[in-house]
Amino acid sequence: MAAPRNKKSFEDFMEELNIYHDFLSECVNNDNNTDLIEMMNSFRDFLKKACIISNGYFDLFEQFIQNPKYLEFRDFFMFCEAYHERLIEIKEKESLVNKKIDISSFEKSLTLEYNKKFYQDILTEFKSLQKYMSATKKFVMVGCGSFPITLFSIAQKYQHIQSTGIDISLEAIINAKELKNKLKYSKITFDIIDGANFNYRDYDTIFIANLVIPKTEVLKRIATTCKPGTIIFMRVPVLYGNLLSEDVNYVSMNCFELIDSIEPSDMTDDILYKIIVLKKI
């Protein structure tokens, strides 16, 4: 006989969200970055558990997104996730620039548990994306950030690819360039530009990062500038991952074909998002 589900009430879920909201608000207001990182790590773990059927909150998701508090919570936690990501990136980057490393030792040099898990998730994801990457010559990542761990993993595995990282943040590109020079990798370039203004014409494969906002505007720009047959990877939220990153309605654009969906596997630590693969028609 199957074990009974650990049912929890909607009130339980909202109470826990309010607790995280209050603690994170205090961290933000007091510029307490160390506690914010720890609290966001805890919050992400809470959301991951909520996405598991046997943990009680899975069945409450549809009820939650109809609640008037949903949009308020989503905007706040998305802000915290972006802030958390920035803090993590800067902390890891500052650690690595003081070490003697190159692209071959990059993985072993990671110091933060968050990034160690994320790197392994990237390797798992790209095993499923191998057929697209082997045909790629020019790759661009939208929203590469200060610590472009995806681009560095690609640089190590796919040495035939010329990659570009773009980000709207000057600080992010300065930090990414510094780390790229430290790794002595010549096939990555960086550009300070909004992904909604970039020209994607020369790229075979495009990756839209999880925290890019607004994804819809970026995808519209891709649709008008990329060539037919271009492949687009996009991380999109799963269930409670909607509290941390933006989803996008690509179907309404009528110019992309969904050709693949890389669901979180038992080998993936983060079950809050998946990768969809689109092809420009």
Interval 69-81: pLDDT, tens: 999 999 999 999 9
Q: What is the pTM of this model?
A: 0.91
Please give the Cα distance from 52 to 28 (Å, whole number). 29
pLDDT > 60? residue 4: no
Q: Measure CA 100 to chain center.
A: 28
**Lookup: tokens for 141:** 């990542």
Query: What is the per-residue burial (b if ≥16 Cβ within 10 Å, else e) of 246-268?
Result: bebebeebebbeeeeebebeeeb
Q: What is the mean pLDDT of the chain?
A: 92
The CA angle 212-236-183, to the nearest 5 degrees, is 55
Q: Measure CA 20 to chain center.
A: 21
pLDDT > 50? residue 3: no
Please give the Cα distance from 267 to 244 (Å, whole number). 21
Q: Say which residue, 69 or 100, is predicted with more confidence.
A: 69
pLDDT > 60? residue 1: no
Amino acid (one-letter) located at 248: V
Long-range contacts of 53-62 (CB under 8 A, 24+ apart): 53/5, 54/3, 54/5, 54/6, 55/6, 56/5, 56/6, 56/7, 56/8, 56/12, 57/8, 57/12, 57/13, 57/240, 58/239, 59/7, 60/8, 60/10, 60/13, 61/239, 61/240
pLDDT tens string 234-267: 999 999 999 999 999 898 899 999 999 998 887 7
pLDDT > 60? residue 167: yes
Amino acid (one-letter) located at 142: V
pLDDT > 60? residue 198: yes
For the chain, the distance separating the N- and C-terminal CA atoms, rounded to the nearest angstrom, is 49
Looking only at Cα atoms, what is the longest distance across the chain? 58
Split at pLDDT 50, 70, 90, the class of 129 is: very high
